[in-house]
Amino acid sequence: MTGLKQVSLFYQSKMSKNDEELVINYLKKNKNFFVKFPDLVKELNFYINDKSSEKVIDLEAYRYKKISKENIDLQNQITKILLAGKSHIISQKKILKSSIRILNTKSLTKLVEVINSDLKNILGCKSVNCFFTNKDKLTKNSSLIDNRIANSYFRNGKKTYLNQNPKGIMIFFPNQSRTIKSYILLKVENTQSNLIIAMGSNSATKFTPDQQVDLIEYLNKIIEIKISNFELQ
């Protein structure tokens, strides 16, 4: 016998104390019962108004509000998905434009300048710093970093770092340790020297370990290709 039939029969017949407890326990475990079966409310002749307290009992209205709330929540979720998709498309366009600018650079110095300006714009971060592991590759907008220290932030062949080690802020943002709250490191590999790009934000939630890095890794490949071309010239 279904729960609906049980409740209907119990209400329509003389009920013992045990029967009442059974119905009460069943309804407590199935709190949305009358929301699922609104026709049963009419069949059982529930009072819409409780005269003793002037409290309105309107399950149809409750059901409507519940469904309306679920629809609003669903619409909000869809909106967030659409906004995320739109943001991803905008980022893709920025990455493509930046790729063209990078490939058109004529010197390593100009490449570093483009990296500093474009990545700050693409990621919306506060600071971008570039570090070379070989002093012969230094430009006026880059700094030198020990190769062992740089490699300690990249394990298992990964070229991005998002684990937010506090020591990284002191190393890669030496004059901004109080303002940088989260950061991402990008490793551009090369035969003569590795380039470490540090991007920092004053928001603690801007860069997180679970962040998607597919677009930034694509840009990394473009930078690697351009640096290799400089060495062949």
Same domain, 23 and 99: no
> CA neighbours within 13 Å on the CB side: how many for 201?
19
pLDDT of 184 strictly over 80: yes
Same domain, 204 and 147: yes
- The model's pLDDT over 95-150, given as tens digits with 9 standing for 90+, comes to 888 888 899 999 999 999 999 989 888 888 899 999 999 998 888 889 999 999 99
Query: Is residue 182 a contact partner of residue 207, using CB atoms and an 8 Å limit?
Result: yes
What is residue 154's DSSP assignment? -
Taking each helix axis from N to C terminus, what angle separates 214-232 and 108-123, rounded to the nearest 10 degrees? Answer: 170
CB neighbourhood size of 169 (10 A)? 20
> Residue 152: which domain range?
73-232
* Nearest CA-CA partner of 132 in 118, 157, 149: 149
Mean confidence (pLDDT) of the chain: 79
Same domain, 222 and 129: yes
Please check whether residue 10 lies inside any domain of the structure.
Answer: yes
Kind plus residue range of the DSSP H or E element containing 196: strand 195-201
Same domain, 48 and 158: no
Collapse the DSSP code of 188 into the 3-class scheme (helix H, G, I; strand E, B; otherwise coil) and give the result: strand
pTM confidence score: 0.63
The CATH number linked to 136 is 3.30.450.40
The pairing of beta strand 142-144 with beta strand 127-132: parallel
50 confidence band (pLDDT: 50, 70, 90): very low
Give the chain's domain count.
2
pLDDT of residue 207: 92
CB neighbourhood size of 111 (10 A)? 24
Query: Is residue 196 a contact partner of residue 142, using CB atoms and an 8 Å limit?
Result: no
Strand order in 182-188's β-sheet? 142-144, 127-132, 195-201, 182-188, 160-161
